[in-house]
Chain A
Amino acid sequence: MSTYVLMRILESAPRRYRLGIRLLTLGRLETVYDRLTAHLQADDRVLDLGCGPGPLTFRAARRGAAVKGIDVNPEMLAIARQGVEEAGLEERITLAELSVAELDAEPGERYDAIMSGLLFSELSRDELTYTFRQIHRLLKPGGLLLAADEVMPRNPVKRVLHFLIRLPLVVVTYVITQQTTHAVRNLTEQVTAAGLELISQRSNFLGSFLELVARKPAGGAG
């Protein structure tokens, strides 16, 4: 799933984003998101980081959760808003134009689950550390982190393979949008360093895509 780098092109045209992602990932991302949101319960209070047009947000809301989606891209949010209206989910979904850096305004231990789809690979090192600190603070004890992202393969051979497959895609994307994503290094270590317990993880063959569920330990400071 090296194709995530091509998302940059789609992001520059938010209206085509949803269809484009589906084509690029051959529907695999949909399956990943279905699996992740299956961990939610009805009436959970959920935060979706970097919600974009809302693939995770809507899934969570349909399962009966009350979701707050945040994103910095107002065009993406506009599409998400339109979707909320069409689906009649106004009661369950709140959207806000916020960056992860502004999570400190939220009261602590507020959420049963925090979701993040393909956001971590867009953040700088500092932002990522900060975000994990906030995730730990915002989760209720026993609350879940549900995340899926592009990661750097651990196996050196696969890393080279991944690099080679990704290179042409990176070049094309860079030429069109002058942007790129950077696969996250040591994502699981960062999750545990933030004081969360890893419950399950699932990776693709190349080890370049990681889907993980982690929990904030119940009781104790963690």
Chain B
Amino acid sequence: MNTIRYLWLTLIQTLFRMFPFPTRTGLIPIGNPGRDAPVLLTGNFRLTVERVKRALRGLDAYLLVANSRGVNVWCASTGGMLTNHQVVAVLKTSGITERVDHRRVILPQLAATGIDGGEIKERTGWRVIWGPVEATAIPAFLQAGMQAGRPMRTIRFPWPRRLEMAVAWAFPISLLALIALLFWKSAVLPMIGLVWLFSLIIFLSFPLYEHLLQSGTQHEGFVFFDFGQAKVPLSFWALFLCALIGISLLSGTFTWTLAFRWGLISLLLLLLLSMDLAGSTPVYKSGLHADRLLRITLDADRCRGAAFCERVCPVDVFVVDHHHKLAALPRRDQCVQCGACIVQCPFDALYFRSPDGNMIPPDTIRRFKLNLMGSRTVQTGTTTPDSLSPE
């Protein structure tokens, strides 16, 4: 019964994956938690909460749901919706302090773009432990003594996730196709069919063309259809045109009008679906975000090898030499400019460098979060110790 409910919920939430779905915040006991039970925290996106609960089945733990305004953890943390304030609020008001004796809270690793572990400790006394990227890895993470190995820390885009994104894009766009009901009724069903077909093909065949999305050599300007990335939809379009013309010729139904109309419609649909192809994957930076041009840079003089960067990087950019106490960035090209390493570094040893060579200091990354279009305009905190003390 629970499984049916879960599947139903997953379906609905995946169809509307692009929209926030807030659920109740606060404390959820899982199993039969005691006074030393682990405390985990997540955002209040409904699907996330259900998935975490499911991942925790059979364990005894406390789950804290913080107010991320119904948005998933990564987007909410990077976009300034899940901030230190929300984490502090749920730690203090949910009553968790009376339920457990320890003061360790496990946060999803992807929240590291917005939550400052040091500040949480200072304000609440709770120590932040960065958990794995995926909720499904939580049991293994706990079993390993709250240690996340590299596979647990790295984000991937396996086929179930790709399917999820295909559905998440196809559904709202097929609703858009309904507009054609007003002037060209017979085209609606074929159009919806095409939307789903394209979306599934685009996302399921992702590993085949993934290398074309490499963001290393991005150029500034032309944000919407970054031409480096338009290769992908255009190749799909060429394939579709060949198939369309081939099949209609063979079946004797070919006309120039048909080829022209459906050629145009398919191009529009493909461009719409792949509008933010890179951004729909967790492994490439959105083509819409100005931040994609920033370059993560290490100030080696400040680095003391504390390895916060290595622990929170979801794309495995860093290697820390614990002997010499120094970080290195051997896989810098994989960076998705999420900023988690910059936010967490206690020595301010990491920063972004813009294409024109300017330095964007860590404080800016901590305080200003990305808005929907990827500009850093959402201010999430100016708190300095001085402004905290009353009078």
Contact = CB atoms under 8 A, between A and B. Distances in A.
Helix, strand, loop or mixed for chain B's interface?
A: loop
Interface residues of A, number: 25
A101 B27 CA distance: 15
A94 B391 contact: yes
A183 to B, nearest CB: 15
Contacts of B367: 74
Contact of A126 (B25, B71, B83, B391): B25
A100 B92 CA distance: 10
Contacts of B94: 126
A184 to B, nearest CB: 15
B85 interface: yes
A43 to B, nearest CB: 14
B329 to A, nearest CB: 31
A104 B125 CA distance: 13
Contact of A99 (B24, B85, B387): B85
Interface stretch (B286-294, B335-343, B375-383): B375-383
B287 to A, nearest CB: 22
A109 interface: no
Contacts of A188: none
Given A99-B88, A127-B89, A74 B25 contact: no
A106 B382 contact: no
Contacts of B67: 124
Interface residues of B, number: 31
Interface string B363-391: 00001000000000001111100011011
Contacts of A68: 390-391
Contacts of B24: 124-125
A74 B92 contact: no
A74 B388 contact: no
B93 interface: yes
Contact of B92 (A72, A77, A104): A104
Contacts of B382: 74, 77-78, 97
B267 to A, nearest CB: 28
Nearest to A68: B390
Given A99-B88, A102-B123, A126-B93, A94 B390 contact: yes
Given A74-B381, A129-B93, 15 more contacts: A74-B379, A74-B383, A77-B382, A96-B388, A96-B390, A97-B382, A99-B85, A101-B92, A124-B25, A124-B26, A124-B89, A126-B25, A126-B27, A126-B90, A126-B95
Identify the 4 closest CB pairs spanning chains A and B, nearest first.
A130-B93, A101-B89, A101-B92, A126-B93
Interface of B: 19-20, 24-27, 67, 69-71, 83, 85, 88-95, 123, 367, 379-383, 387-388, 390-391
Interface of A: 68, 72, 74-75, 77-78, 94-102, 104, 106, 124-127, 129-130, 178-179
